[in-house]
Amino acid sequence: MDQKMILLVEDNPDDVALTLRALKKNNLGNEIVVANDGVEALDFVFGAGKYAGRDLSIQPELVLLDLKLPKLDGFKVLEKLRQDQRTKLLPVVILTSSKEQQDLIDGYGLGANSYVRKPVEFENFVEAVRNLGLYWLVLNERPPHLASR
Protein backbone atom coordinates (compact mmCIF):
# COMPACT_ATOMS: atom_id res chain seq x y z
CA MET A 1 0.00 0.00 0.00
CA ASP A 2 1.65 3.20 -1.17
CA GLN A 3 -0.71 5.66 0.39
CA LYS A 4 -0.44 5.91 4.15
CA MET A 5 -3.78 6.04 5.94
CA ILE A 6 -4.41 8.43 8.81
CA LEU A 7 -7.02 7.73 11.47
CA LEU A 8 -8.37 11.02 12.80
CA VAL A 9 -10.23 10.52 16.08
CA GLU A 10 -12.15 13.73 16.71
CA ASP A 11 -15.72 14.43 17.83
CA ASN A 12 -15.88 18.14 17.04
CA PRO A 13 -17.10 18.58 13.42
CA ASP A 14 -15.38 21.97 13.18
CA ASP A 15 -12.04 20.46 14.23
CA VAL A 16 -12.52 17.57 11.79
CA ALA A 17 -13.18 20.03 8.94
CA LEU A 18 -10.23 22.18 10.01
CA THR A 19 -7.86 19.21 10.15
CA LEU A 20 -9.02 17.89 6.77
CA ARG A 21 -8.58 21.37 5.24
CA ALA A 22 -5.13 21.69 6.77
CA LEU A 23 -4.08 18.28 5.41
CA LYS A 24 -5.44 19.12 1.95
CA LYS A 25 -3.81 22.55 1.95
CA ASN A 26 -0.48 20.86 2.65
CA ASN A 27 -1.03 18.39 -0.22
CA LEU A 28 -1.13 15.46 2.16
CA GLY A 29 -3.45 13.39 -0.02
CA ASN A 30 -3.49 10.46 2.36
CA GLU A 31 -6.63 8.46 2.90
CA ILE A 32 -8.16 9.80 6.09
CA VAL A 33 -10.62 7.82 8.14
CA VAL A 34 -12.55 9.87 10.70
CA ALA A 35 -13.82 8.28 13.91
CA ASN A 36 -16.17 10.51 15.91
CA ASP A 37 -15.68 8.81 19.28
CA GLY A 38 -13.36 6.42 21.05
CA VAL A 39 -15.50 3.32 20.48
CA GLU A 40 -15.67 3.98 16.73
CA ALA A 41 -11.87 4.41 16.62
CA LEU A 42 -11.26 1.05 18.29
CA ASP A 43 -13.95 -0.61 16.15
CA PHE A 44 -12.14 0.61 13.04
CA VAL A 45 -8.69 -0.51 14.18
CA PHE A 46 -9.84 -3.92 15.41
CA GLY A 47 -12.58 -4.59 12.84
CA ALA A 48 -15.59 -4.58 15.17
CA GLY A 49 -19.04 -2.96 15.13
CA LYS A 50 -19.80 -1.30 11.81
CA TYR A 51 -16.25 -2.17 10.69
CA ALA A 52 -16.68 -5.92 11.26
CA GLY A 53 -15.14 -7.81 8.37
CA ARG A 54 -12.82 -4.94 7.41
CA ASP A 55 -9.44 -5.98 5.99
CA LEU A 56 -7.27 -5.69 9.09
CA SER A 57 -4.06 -5.96 7.09
CA ILE A 58 -4.70 -2.34 6.10
CA GLN A 59 -4.11 -0.27 9.21
CA PRO A 60 -3.43 3.42 9.77
CA GLU A 61 0.16 4.57 9.65
CA LEU A 62 -0.73 7.36 12.07
CA VAL A 63 -3.49 8.05 14.58
CA LEU A 64 -4.33 11.67 15.39
CA LEU A 65 -6.18 11.35 18.68
CA ASP A 66 -8.24 13.91 20.54
CA LEU A 67 -8.58 13.37 24.29
CA LYS A 68 -12.04 14.65 25.12
CA LEU A 69 -14.22 12.15 23.25
CA PRO A 70 -17.71 10.74 23.82
CA LYS A 71 -18.29 7.08 24.75
CA LEU A 72 -14.58 6.38 25.39
CA ASP A 73 -12.01 9.12 25.96
CA GLY A 74 -8.67 9.37 24.18
CA PHE A 75 -6.75 8.02 27.16
CA LYS A 76 -8.79 4.79 27.13
CA VAL A 77 -8.35 4.50 23.35
CA LEU A 78 -4.58 4.91 23.73
CA GLU A 79 -4.51 2.39 26.56
CA LYS A 80 -6.38 -0.22 24.46
CA LEU A 81 -4.09 0.38 21.47
CA ARG A 82 -0.98 -0.10 23.60
CA GLN A 83 -2.32 -3.27 25.24
CA ASP A 84 -2.78 -5.10 21.93
CA GLN A 85 0.25 -6.65 20.20
CA ARG A 86 -1.09 -5.64 16.77
CA THR A 87 -1.24 -1.94 17.63
CA LYS A 88 1.31 -1.62 20.41
CA LEU A 89 3.76 0.25 18.14
CA LEU A 90 1.24 2.19 16.04
CA PRO A 91 2.25 5.88 16.05
CA VAL A 92 -0.28 7.89 18.05
CA VAL A 93 -0.16 11.68 18.18
CA ILE A 94 -2.45 13.30 20.72
CA LEU A 95 -3.91 16.36 18.99
CA THR A 96 -5.89 18.28 21.58
CA SER A 97 -6.86 21.71 22.79
CA SER A 98 -6.27 20.63 26.39
CA LYS A 99 -3.79 22.78 28.26
CA GLU A 100 -3.90 20.59 31.38
CA GLN A 101 -0.43 19.48 32.47
CA GLN A 102 -1.86 16.21 33.82
CA ASP A 103 -3.23 15.35 30.35
CA LEU A 104 0.26 15.77 28.92
CA ILE A 105 1.77 13.54 31.62
CA ASP A 106 -0.98 10.92 31.31
CA GLY A 107 -0.76 10.90 27.50
CA TYR A 108 2.95 10.16 27.48
CA GLY A 109 2.53 7.77 30.41
CA LEU A 110 0.09 5.67 28.35
CA GLY A 111 2.48 5.54 25.40
CA ALA A 112 1.64 8.48 23.12
CA ASN A 113 4.38 9.16 20.58
CA SER A 114 3.73 12.88 20.59
CA TYR A 115 1.46 15.47 22.20
CA VAL A 116 0.44 18.51 20.18
CA ARG A 117 -1.81 21.32 21.35
CA LYS A 118 -4.12 22.56 18.61
CA PRO A 119 -3.21 26.13 17.70
CA VAL A 120 -6.21 28.46 17.64
CA GLU A 121 -5.24 30.38 14.48
CA PHE A 122 -5.92 28.49 11.23
CA GLU A 123 -2.57 29.35 9.62
CA ASN A 124 -0.72 28.11 12.72
CA PHE A 125 -2.85 24.97 12.68
CA VAL A 126 -2.07 24.40 8.98
CA GLU A 127 1.64 24.69 9.75
CA ALA A 128 1.37 22.30 12.71
CA VAL A 129 -0.47 19.72 10.57
CA ARG A 130 2.10 20.12 7.77
CA ASN A 131 4.90 19.44 10.22
CA LEU A 132 3.07 16.43 11.69
CA GLY A 133 2.48 14.98 8.23
CA LEU A 134 6.03 15.61 7.09
CA TYR A 135 7.52 14.05 10.18
CA TRP A 136 5.23 11.06 10.78
CA LEU A 137 4.46 10.11 7.16
CA VAL A 138 7.72 10.99 5.40
CA LEU A 139 10.69 11.25 7.77
CA ASN A 140 9.82 8.86 10.58
CA GLU A 141 11.11 5.28 10.32
CA ARG A 142 8.27 2.93 11.18
CA PRO A 143 8.67 -0.38 13.02
CA PRO A 144 9.32 -3.24 10.54
CA HIS A 145 5.85 -4.82 10.77
CA LEU A 146 4.27 -1.44 9.93
CA ALA A 147 6.86 -0.51 7.31
CA SER A 148 6.05 -3.47 5.10
CA ARG A 149 2.64 -2.11 4.15
> 78, 65 in Cβ contact below 8 A?
yes
Domains, in order of start, for the chain: 6-147 (3.40.50.2300)
Sign (positive or negative) of CA dihedral 73, 75, 80, 86:
positive
How far, in Å, are 48, 69, 107, 108 from residue 101 at the CA level? 33, 18, 10, 11
Which residues have CB under 8 Å from 118's CB, separation 6+?
Answer: 15, 95, 96, 97, 125, 128
Distance CA 127, CA 27 (A): 12
According to the model, what pLDDT value does residue 133 have?
Answer: 77
DSSP letters along 68-98, please? S-SSS-HHHHHHHHHHSTTTTT--EEEEE--
According to the model, what pLDDT value does residue 4 have?
Answer: 80
Residue 145: band (very low, low, confident or very high) from pLDDT cuts 50, 70, 90: low
Kindly report the pTM of this predicted structure: 0.87
The model's pLDDT over 79-118, given as tens digits with 9 standing for 90+, comes to: 999 999 999 999 999 998 888 999 999 999 999 999 988 8
Distance CA 21, CA 27 (A): 10
Alpha carbons within 13 A on the beta-carbon side of 25: 16
